[in-house]
Amino acid sequence: MTQPVTLTLNAGSSSLKFSLYDISGEPVQMAVGLVENIGRQPRLKANLGEALPRAERDLAASEAADHKSALATVLALLREHFPAARASVVGHRVVHGGPRYSEPMTVTEPVMDELKRLSPFAPIHQPHNIAGIEAAQAAFPDALQVACFDTAFHRHHPKENDMFALPREYYDKGIRRYGFHGLSYEFVSGELKRIAPQLHAGRVVVAHLGNGASMCGILGGRSVASTMGFTALDGLPMGTRCGQVDPGVIFYMVQQEGRTIDEVRDIFYNKSGLLGLSGISNDMRVLESADVPAAHEAINYFVFRIRRELGGLAAALGGLDALVFCGGIGENSRKIRRRICDGLDWIGLDLDHDRNDDNARVISTEFSRARIMVIPTNEEIVIARAAKRLLQQSAAA
Kindly report the three-state secondary structure assignment for every residue of the chain. CCEEEEEEEEECCCCEEEEEEECCCCCEEEEEEEEECCCCCCEEEEECCCCCCEEEEECCHHHHCCHHHHHHHHHHHHHHHCCCEEEEEEEEEECCCCCCCCCCEECCHHHHHHHHHCHHHCCCCHHHHHHHHHHHHHHCCCCEEEEEECCHHHCCCCHHHHCCCCCHHHHHCCCCCCCCCHHHHHHHHHHHHHHCHHHHCCEEEEEEECCCEEEEEEECCEEEEECCCCCCCCCCCCCCCCCCCCCHHHHHHHHCCCCCHHHHHHHHHHCCHHHHHHCCCCCHHHHHHCCCHHHHHHHHHHHHHHHHHHHHHHHHHCCCCEEEEEHHHHHHCHHHHHHHHCCCHHHCECECHHHHHCCCCECECCCCCEEEEECCCCHHHHHHHHHHHHHHHHHHC
> Can you name the residues that pair with 223 across neighbouring β-strands?
218
Closer of 145 and 377 to ligand ADP (Cβ) = 377
Shortest spacing between CB 115 and ligand ADP, in angstroms: 22
Q: Would you say 379 and 187 are in contact if contact means Cβ atoms under 8 Å apart?
A: yes
Closer of 193 and 285 to ligand ADP (Cβ) = 285
Closer of 140 and 149 to ligand ADP (Cβ) = 149
Shortest spacing between CB 129 and ligand ADP, in angstroms: 16
Closer of 144 and 381 to ligand ADP (Cβ) = 381
Shortest spacing between CB 333 and ligand ADP, in angstroms: 4
Shortest spacing between CB 379 and ligand ADP, in angstroms: 9
- Mind telling me the catalytic residues? 150
Closer of 206 and 284 to ligand ADP (Cβ) = 284
Shortest spacing between CB 376 and ligand ADP, in angstroms: 10
Shortest spacing between CB 157 and ligand ADP, in angstroms: 22
Closer of 130 and 284 to ligand ADP (Cβ) = 284
- 151 phi and psi angles, rounded to 5 deg: -90, -20
Taking CB atoms, the residue at the shortest distance from ligand ADP is 328
Residues in contact with ligand ADP by CB under 6 A are 210-212, 239, 283-285, 288, 327-329, 332-333
Closer of 69 and 333 to ligand ADP (Cβ) = 333
Residues in Cβ contact with 29 at an 8 Å cutoff, skipping those fewer than 6 apart: 19, 20, 21, 380, 381, 384
Shortest spacing between CB 274 and ligand ADP, in angstroms: 7
